[in-house]
Amino acid sequence: MSPNIAKKQRFIGKTAIITGAGSGIGRATAIQMAREGANVALFDLVNERTSVLEQKLNKLRKDCALAIDVDTSDAERMEEAVRRTIEHFGSLDVVFANAGINGAVGPIEELSLSDWERTMSVNLTGTFLTLKYTIPHLKDKGKGSIIITSSINGNTRFTSFGWSPYSTTKAGQVAFAKMAALELAKFKIRVNVICPGAISTNIDETTEFNEDVEEIVIPIEFPEGAQPLADGPGKAENVADLVSFLASDESIHITGAQIVIDGAESLLS
């Protein structure tokens, strides 16, 4: 987090739901928003990781964090997790639909139906359910900000061979975000979608490579400096800065925007 942002207190009295909060981009965003005064509901599969973060944040500010063990692709559990959040914190202002997996990577004919459906269900259905169950609470509040984590893959980059399920979900999230932005504008609920390039997180643990992927790769020689601005992957905190801006009233006139955050990586590939 940059020092001038650290001094801001943009979220006092606000509550945010952050999915995928136990690691990477979600975790960095939860820490930043809590430091700036937010109450944060930490939605993640891995209860232990989110519990540790919950304790850390509650030491930072008493009772500001609530960890909830939930699979974002499970409708019943998501509905219950949102209900618990409202019961605990009273209302909702910000939703960060961020949980995602890389999933199965391989030639299309080698992917099983369940490979395909798993990536769809976590990345795309999970995003749908996150919005479905939180929108009524943002409407109750009379305004709100939703941010969805997509990717440069499927939007500005198509050279990650074998990543067709992942890229399809990431393109779908952008269309969904723009549809939602128009649908919700009259309720003063903003919806923006971010497209990160490579960011140092634990996401690679979720990649399931099919060895036949080598057969479909078209060799591409990348120029030196694949992330020209940073000379390497970005940090989760860089993305958290962007999400916090979109969550705050500093971006009050921004909705339906698709924002690439990749250090110019996708301009080269």
9 or 114: CB nearest ligand NAD: 114
Strand partners, 67: 42
Residue 266 sits in the site that holds ligand NAD (CB under 6 A): no
Contacts of ligand NAD in 20-39 (CB under 6 A): 20, 22-26
57 or 199: CB nearest ligand NAD: 199
Block residue for tokens 């207190």: 9
Q: Is 133 annotated in the active site?
A: no
Strand partners, 38: none
Q: Give the torsion sign (CA, 106, 108, 112, 118).
A: positive
Among the residue ranges 5-13, 67-75, 134-142, 246-254, the one whose residues contact ligand NAD (CB under 6 A) = 67-75
Cα radius of gyration (the chain): 18
Contact with ligand NAD (CB under 6 A) among 18, 100, 135, 147: 100
User: Angle between the 126-141 and 164-184 helix axes, to the nearest 10 degrees?
Assistant: 20
**How far apart (Å, rounded) are the C-alpha atoms in residues 214 and 222?**
17
Among the residue ranges 19-27, 216-224, 240-248, 252-260, the one whose residues contact ligand NAD (CB under 6 A) = 19-27
Q: Give the torsion sign (CA, 234, 235, 238, 242).
A: positive
For 245: left if phi > 0, alpha if psi spans -120 to 50, otherwise beta; the answer is alpha
Block residue for tokens 């961020």: 98
Contact with ligand NAD (CB under 6 A) among 151, 155, 164, 255: 151
**How far apart (Å, rounded) are the C-alpha atoms in residues 198 and 226?**
10
In 10 A of CB 210, how many CB atoms? 16
Smallest distance from ligand NAD to CB 16, Å:
15
**How far apart (Å, rounded) are the C-alpha atoms in residues 55 and 53?**
5
Task: Read off the amino acid at residue 29.
Answer: T
Contacts of ligand NAD in 220-239 (CB under 6 A): none
Contact with ligand NAD (CB under 6 A) among 16, 57, 95, 101: 101
Set 50, 166, 248, 262: catalytic member: 166
DSSP annotation of 125 reads: I
Contacts of ligand NAD in 108-137 (CB under 6 A): 122, 126
Three-class DSSP category at 130: helix
Contact with ligand NAD (CB under 6 A) among 42, 99, 242, 247: 99
Per-residue contact string for residues 178-217; x = within reach of ligand NAD by CB under 6 A: ------------------x-xx-xxx--x-----------
Contact with ligand NAD (CB under 6 A) among 15, 29, 85, 98: 98
Contact with ligand NAD (CB under 6 A) among 44, 54, 93, 237: 44
Footprint of ligand NAD (CB under 6 A): 19-20, 22-26, 43-46, 71-73, 98-101, 122, 126, 149, 151, 196, 198-199, 201-203, 206
Catalytic residues: 166
